[in-house]
Amino acid sequence: MADMPDGTASFSLSLHTRIAEIPPTVWDECAGAENPFVSHAFLSALEESGSAGARTGWLPQHAALRDSAGRIVAVVPMYAKSHSYGEYVFDHGWAHAFERAGGDYYPKLQVAVPFSPVPGPRLLIRRDAGVALALMAEALEQACRKLSLSSVHVTFCTEAEWTAFGAAGWLQRVGMQFHWHNEGYGSFEDFLAALSSRKRKMIRRERRDAAEGLTIRVLRGREIEPRHWRAFYGFYNATVDRKWGSAYLTERFFPLLGERLGEKVVLMLAEQNGKPVAAALNLMGADTLYGRNWGCRGEFPFLHFELCYYQAIEFAIAHGLNRVEAGAQGQHKLQRGYLPERTFSAHWIAHPGLRRAVGDFLCREQAEIAEDMESLAERSPFREA
């Protein structure tokens, strides 16, 4: 444990190699209940299942900020990493450039939810603590220096956090995802009515074709049985084998997640003759449904769209949720009602030369993303008012 720099000596910072070292009630008092991905339940399920740890190169270094009375007033989900996989904000080029120049980019510190490109808070501060975001940025810099690491990366943070990091001198990065917004729709048909005629017809056709010969079910909490989780793990592995070739999440993770998060876990399941053939895993927050993992055994046209996008929209409307976030990438989401949104990350790099080079790159990248978003906005599937 170390005191904070001059002027903030009433606070001290400690790093923890297991989230279990911080009581769940204490962590969640800082994290709040809005976003399940930063909850103690989700993060501990990753660690206890062996998904986040030495095997996958996500070594916990969770930060806890204590006040003068020893009370934890803020926590940060943080990991020491020897690679850049499972982050969805790519910095491989930075690492290669620094290593070619003779520097050591790894290990680095990563403030993130492992394997989850889900925007949300990363500096988890008790609402009654009065701790400034700038203080937390300074605390992370101090932790990086103390560990003699190259850099700290805070990915998929909130815009307010991103702004505070920028004011503290960190490099700011912008990305893009596609999110669906509930404009007060009473039903899926209400949503379709807001689209252009061509898009309405396309979605109706896709839903009809996807459901042919299949039964679609939505399961929550205790409705998800061990057999469903076994099937889903098979789907997950099949998808990983096709796309990435490395399964981070272990078989134990999924039932542990269901056990700990209960009704917040939503599984969109497709069955053929009573046998599961595909599924999409979602977590429900206070006002958002977050799409996370999907997998399938076999070839079923448009089933990915049905389970991951259309069933998610129906669920959000039925439960009065404001938004669906369906994960990273995918301009194909645009014509299905998911619109481009900026995502945010912040980066503190110790080496001045690398910091300048990365800063120049980010300025160019941000301009390109702004142009892309402007172009995508012109291709909106919604009817003109």
Residue 79, in any domain of the structure: yes
**Edge-first strand listing for the sheet containing 288-296:** 58-60, 78-81, 108-111, 151-157, 339-349, 171-181, 323-325, 288-296, 275-284, 265-272, 215-220
Whether 125 and 272 map to the same domain: the answer is no
Shared domain for 210 and 270, answered yes or no, is yes
Which is it for the CA torsion 141, 144, 146, 149, positive or negative? negative
Backbone angles phi, psi at 52, to 5 degrees: -110, 115
pLDDT score of 328: 79
Type and span of the H or E element at 304: helix 303-305
Provide the residue count of the chain.
385
Could you tell me if 129 and 153 lie in one domain? Answer: yes
DSSP string, 192-212: HHTB-HHHHHHHHHHHHHHHT
Q: pLDDT of the chain along its 385 residues, tens only?
A: 455 554 555 899 999 999 999 999 999 999 999 999 999 999 999 999 999 999 999 999 999 999 999 999 999 999 999 999 999 999 999 999 999 999 999 999 999 999 999 999 999 999 999 899 999 999 999 999 999 999 999 999 999 999 999 999 999 999 999 999 999 999 999 999 999 999 999 999 999 999 999 999 999 999 999 999 999 999 998 876 455 456 799 999 999 999 999 999 999 999 999 999 999 999 999 999 999 999 999 999 999 999 999 999 999 999 999 999 988 778 899 999 999 999 999 999 999 999 999 999 999 999 999 999 999 989 999 987 5
- CATH number of 363's domain: 3.40.630.30
Please state the φ and ψ torsions of residue 63, each to the nearest 5 degrees: -95, 140
HSE at residue 384, side-chain half, CA atoms within 13 A, is 3
- 216 shares a domain with 245: yes
For residues 153 and 76, give the distance between their C-alpha atoms in angstroms, rounded to a whole number.
12
Q: Rounded to whole angstroms, how far apart are CA atoms 308 and 337?
A: 13
CA angle 307, 311, 316 (to 5 degrees): 140
pLDDT at 6 (0 to 100): 46
Q: What pLDDT does 9 receive?
A: 55
Range of the domain at 116: 2-176+342-377
Residues 27 and 128 in one domain: yes
Query: Tokens 């070594």 sit at which residue?
Result: 59
Instruction: Please report whether residue 329 resides in a domain.
Output: no
Name the domain count of the chain: 2
286 within domain boundaries: yes
Q: Are residues 204 and 67 in the same domain?
A: no
Q: Would 331 be classed as within a structural domain?
A: no
